[in-house]
Amino acid sequence: MTIHKEGYKTIAWSVIIFAALNLVSVYIFSLNNPFICWFILFISVALLIFMISFFRVPNRTLTHREDGIIAPADGKVVAVEEVQADEYFTDKRIQVSIFMSPLNVHLNRNPVSGEVKYSQYHKGKYLVAWHPKSSTENERHTVVYRKDEKEILIKQIAGALAKRIVNYLQAGQPVEQTEEMGFIKFGSRVDLLLPPDAKVQVKIGDKVRGGVSVIAVW
């Protein structure tokens, strides 16, 4: 396991705050209320471990399939439905939505190899990630991939806790399946808009792993 580069600054500040908080608590409470010192230490250690684990990048064997669309994120499948596309596409598409809790790995990966045809950031609200309007009203970044004349759309969507979406892709850029596409800080969601003829391999409630699970084949 390694720590993602997006976490270096956040973890550094967390360590500084952890050290300062505990030094102050020892100075103020160690003589008369040592229990408070231990309580603060316990809570701060738990929060520091959570912060470090949030930015973890686990070692795993990634899946590469020419006919496969691989999960761009870890999380739980919360929607598999036909929708009317509202960005880039004008036709109906199959939407697969993956909810990422704060405990999931938040590194996002390319679902296919090919060319980036579209990459656009949108400011927005911070509705909870499972809210039906989060895909159209929340802060988000949309990417369209083209492979062999077929295209799929990915939306990185901020949640109630997420305040920053990171995306590394630009239009015209060639990409490889399972390589990094970006990172979302804290609870969030990723939507995939697939061609109508894609054969979806997951169902609502399934837990998927980014770069490993096959979402659909085409």
- Residues noted as catalytic: 188
**In a 10 Å sphere around its CB, with 0-12 CB exposed, 13-18 middle and 19+ buried, how is residue 186 labelled?**
middle
Tell me how far the alpha carbon of residue 44 is from its chain's centroid.
25
Residues across the chain: 218
Instruction: Give yes or no for a contact between 71 and 155, defined as CB atoms under 8 angstroms apart.
Output: no
